Structures are given as C-alpha cells and as structure tokens.
Amino acid sequence: MFKRCNFWAGVRNENNKLIAFGYVAGTGLEHGYMEDIIVHPDYQKMGIGVELVRELLRESERYGLEIVTLTYDPKHKNFYENCGFTPCSGGLWKKQ
C-alpha cells in the first residue's frame, strides 16, 4: 500500500492506540486520490474524521497537489462536504 501512497495520517488515543487513519495516493503528479478514511466506531461523531481529512488536504497542498478526489457512499456526502469537497458526478467500472 505504501508504494503508491504519497502520504498518510493517523490519530492515536490517550493510550497510544490507533483510532483513525487515512492516506492520499497517486503518481506524484498534480492529482491525488484520498482513500481509506477510517475512524474507530467508539471515536466517531467527535470531529476526528473531519480534522484527519483536513490535515490530509493541507498536506496535499504542501505536496503540490492541485486536485484530490475520492469516492464515498452517498450517506457520507455531508461529511465530505464539511471537509471541503465538492460533490460531482463520476463513474465506476467493476469487474463482472
């Protein structure tokens, strides 16, 4: 996974246990793809995920990325809008 990962971020709790994780992958050009934004269920709805995504976007800017895309379940639309993403149409190909 880390071979295609431009950078990653994690959050640990007071006991140093990993409770949130995400990364931005890409080819090192102007475009990155955010993946695997995960927050442990016991720590959801506390703002940890939003801050994690925003930190990944700040790092994207420092890295020189002009565009960061992601895919998400429609039920997470408001979450990603709150993080600064603009919803747009797209497509998905899946092996049959």
Find the angle CA(67)-CA(89)-CA(65) to the nearest 5 degrees: 5
Sign (positive/negative) of CA torsion 73, 78, 80, 81?
A: positive
pTM for this predicted structure:
0.84
Give the C-alpha separation, 62 to 32, whole Å: 12
pLDDT in tens, 20-31: 999 999 876 788
Torsion angle defined by CA atoms of residues 6, 59, 50 and 41, in that order, rounded to the nearest 10 degrees? 40
pLDDT beyond 80 at 34: yes
Give the C-alpha separation, 13 to 56, whole Å: 19
